[in-house]
C-alpha cells in the first residue's frame, strides 16, 4: 500500500489564535484530495484540587457555542512558553489559587479530524489562595465540586468540554483508585 503524501499546504487565513490551511494530499490509491486544516500553537489545562479534594471549575462564556460553560482552567501556550508553565500561570490567573504541586496528567488532541491543537493537562494540588488575574476579555467565576458532582454533570450533558472530561476522569482514575 502506498502512503499519504502532502503535496502542498496553502495558508488561507492567519487569525490571532489559529491558522486556516488548505492541504492538497495524494491518497494511497493515487487520488488527490483537498483537506481543511486548522493549526494551533497548543494549550495547557489543569485540574486544580483543593485540600478538601474538591475540583475547581471555571464558568465562562464561550463564543464558539454562544453560551456559558464549566471547565478546568486552561489557556493558550505563549511563544517560547512550556505547557507546564502555561498551566501554572492559568490556574492562578483564572482561579485565584497558586499551585504548590503540579504534575502531568495526560495530553489530548482536541479535534483530530481537522485541527492539530494539543492540550497538555496537569493536576494541581496544595493550592494556596492568591488572586485572579484575568485577561481584559475574560470574566470567570469559579466553583468547587466533588468528583461525583462533576461526573454527574458530565453524564447529564451539563459539562461537555473535552479537556475537562479527559482531565477529570483521568485524575479520578490515576489518583482515586
- Is the pLDDT at 2 greater than 90, yes or no? no
Query: Does residue 144 share a domain with residue 78?
Result: yes
Q: How many CB atoms lie within 10 A of CB 17?
A: 11
Q: Please give the pLDDT value at position 107.
A: 98
Query: Does residue 96 share a domain with residue 116?
Result: yes
Q: Please give the pLDDT value at position 138.
A: 80
Question: Does the predicted model carry a pTM greater than 0.85?
Answer: yes
Q: How far apart are CA 106 and CA 168, in angstroms?
A: 10
Residues 52, 71, 136, 172: which is the catalytic one?
136
Residue range(s) defining the domain that contains residue 115: 43-175
152 catalytic per annotation: no
For the record, the C-alpha cell of 153 comes out as 454533570
Query: Does residue 92 share a domain with residue 49?
Result: yes
pLDDT in tens, 55-105: 999 999 999 999 999 999 999 999 999 999 999 999 999 999 999 999 999
**What confidence tier does 156 reach under pLDDT thresholds 50, 70, 90?**
very high
Query: Does residue 32 share a domain with residue 84?
Result: no
Does the CA dihedral 81-93-129-122 come out positive or negative? negative
Q: How many domains does the chain have?
A: 2
Q: Is 30 exposed, middle or buried (0-12, 13-18, 19+ CB in 10 A)?
A: exposed
pLDDT in tens, 6-58: 999 999 999 989 999 999 999 999 999 999 999 999 999 999 999 999 999 99
Query: Does residue 48 share a domain with residue 30?
Result: no
Q: What is the CATH number of the domain that holds 107?
A: 3.90.79.10
pLDDT in tens, 98-154: 999 999 999 999 999 999 999 999 999 999 999 887 878 888 899 999 999 999 999
Q: Please give the pLDDT value at position 135.
A: 79
Q: How far apart are CA 41 and CA 77, in angstroms?
A: 7
Query: Does residue 84 share a domain with residue 11?
Result: no
Amino acid at each position: 500500500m502506498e502512503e499519504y503524501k502532502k503535496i502542498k499546504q496553502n495558508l488561507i487565513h492567519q487569525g490571532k489564535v489559529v491558522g486556516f490551511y488548505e492541504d492538497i494530499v495524494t491518497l494511497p490509491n493515487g487520488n488527490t484530495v483537498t483537506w481543511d486544516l486548522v493549526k494551533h500553537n497548543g494549550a495547557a489545562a489543569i485540574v486544580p484540587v483543593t485540600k478538601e479534594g474538591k475540583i475547581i471549575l471555571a464558568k465562562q462564556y464561550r463564543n464558539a457555542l454562544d453560551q456559558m460553560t464549566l471547565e478546568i482552567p486552561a489557556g493558550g501556550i505563549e511563544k517560547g512558553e512550556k505547557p507546564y508553565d502555561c498551566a501554572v500561570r492559568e490556574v492562578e490567573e483564572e482561579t485565584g489559587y497558586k499551585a504548590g504541586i503540579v504534575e502531568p496528567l495526560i495530553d489530548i488532541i482536541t479535534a483530530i479530524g481537522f485541527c492539530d491543537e494539543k492540550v497538555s493537562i496537569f493536576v494541581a494540588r496544595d493550592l494556596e489562595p492568591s488572586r485572579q488575574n484575568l485577561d481584559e476579555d475574560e470574566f470567570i467565576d469559579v466553583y468547587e465540586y466533588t468528583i461525583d458532582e462533576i461526573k454527574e454533570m458530565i453524564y447529564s450533558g451539563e459539562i461537555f468540554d473535552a479537556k475537562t472530561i479527559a482531565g477529570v476522569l483521568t485524575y479520578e482514575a490515576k489518583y482515586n483508585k
